[in-house]
Amino acid sequence: MKRKSFLRILFCLALAFAMVFSLSAAAFADGDTEGIDPQLIGEWYCYDHTDDGNYTSEVFYGVSYLNIVLPNGVFTDSDTFAFASAGGYDQLTVSAVDGKTDLGERLIAYYRAFSEIEEAEIDEDILDELDKLSNIEVTYELSDLSPEDITGTKLIDSEIAALESWENDGLQIHVTADYKPDPLTTKKVDSTWHFYRRISDYCFLEALLCGEWSDQNGNDWTIGYENDADGYANLCYTMVSSDGTELKGDYLSCLSELGEDNELVSTVRFDFESFESPRYLLGEFTADSIELLSDDGDLILTRS
């Protein structure tokens, strides 16, 4: 399945529920997991895909686009974020611990839910596969990469520096399954997707910040994506101050770059219609809290 087709599925999923729709706190909070390996958290880029079986599954093709991992176990797509939630569904909140993950089961559940939406369009090949796949196992492995390991894409200087100095900057997601197209035939799915850790200007930070929050100053925040009439997601946010005044966000500036020792330095600034915040340095964060640090005063967000 080509990327254009895959993205069309994602856009249709969002549009099927509402033309205007915001990701709420529930979008990233619903769906219990057994845990998430903290080394997976961040943004990844798929640079290679190999098939060693005798069947390539359309269902699992979407693995290559799941390149953002959040601390609550949400796997999402930096281009559309449509995997994160749609109309209350939260299909890809994934457990991933000690090399094992339920990503395969969550993908199947996602497509089953999607197929039940009357207005939605889905590739018939995917629907045909859902009941014919069995013995699904998905594992992951982290490794150290060098720039020479990356094929098929041109690296910029900062990516080269990161690959030369970071540890566990490579990720392989391996899928095996049986595909039984008829009672007499069983084919083998044996696919691997290869990723390297990416330095993102904004995608991971935006996804991390989505939700409903309160801060230590008594302000309440709502940050999420709203789809325009064409189905494209735009990040929107509002803050209700401690005195009850609603302030509408104008622009969220998220930046990530390498620091002096090639560590990842991420910053964020909230621009409102009437003022702008300091530029905050991303500190420690979990699924339920984010530290944003500034010489002009820190901002501590706690999920509502």
Strands annotated E in 14-132: 42-51, 68-69, 75-76, 96-97, 100-101
| pLDDT of the residue at 231 | 64
For residue 117, give the nearest of 244, 9, 262, 2 by alpha carbon: 9
Confidence band (pLDDT; 50, 70, 90) for 118?
low
More reliable by pLDDT, 221 or 34 = 221
**Residue corresponding to tokens 């230590």:** 216
- 19 residue type, one letter: M
In the chain, pLDDT over 90 holds for what percent of residues? 55
C-alpha 227: how far from chain center: 17
Question: Do residue 164 and residue 266 come from a single domain?
Answer: no
Question: Do residue 133 and residue 38 come from a single domain?
Answer: yes
Question: Do residue 157 and residue 180 come from a single domain?
Answer: yes
Question: Do residue 129 and residue 215 come from a single domain?
Answer: no
Q: What is the mean pLDDT of the chain?
A: 82
The count of domains in the chain is: 2
- As a whole number, mean pLDDT of residues 61-70 equals 84
| pLDDT of the residue at 85 | 40
| pLDDT of the residue at 119 | 61
Sequence-separated contacts (24+) of 72-79 with Cβ below 8 Å:
72/28, 72/29, 72/33, 72/36, 72/287, 73/31, 73/33, 73/35, 73/36, 73/287, 74/28, 74/207, 75/103, 75/106, 76/207, 77/10, 78/43, 78/200, 78/203, 78/204, 78/207, 79/7
The domain spanning residue 250 has which CATH number? 2.40.128
Q: For 182-234, write each residue's pLDDT tens digit.
A: 999 999 999 999 999 988 767 889 889 989 999 999 999 999 877 777 766 67
For residue 14, give the nearest of 27, 32, 3 by alpha carbon: 27
Question: Do residue 179 and residue 65 come from a single domain?
Answer: yes
**Residue corresponding to tokens 């996602």:** 110
Helices (H), 166-275: 203-209
Q: Which residue, 153, 176, 197, sits at the end of a domain?
A: 197
Question: Do residue 208 and residue 187 come from a single domain?
Answer: no
The length of the chain, given as a count of residues: 304
Range of the domain at 175: 3-197
Q: Which residue, 197, 217, 252, sits at the end of a domain?
A: 197
Question: Do residue 8 and residue 77 come from a single domain?
Answer: yes
| pLDDT of the residue at 232 | 67
| pLDDT of the residue at 11 | 35
Could you tell me the maximum CA-CA distance found in the chain, to the nearest angstrom?
A: 70
- As a whole number, mean pLDDT of residues 107-123 equals 75
Question: Do residue 89 and residue 210 come from a single domain?
Answer: no
Instruction: Indicate whether 29 pLDDT > 90.
Output: no
| pLDDT of the residue at 79 | 53
Q: Which residue, 181, 197, 213, sits at the end of a domain?
A: 197
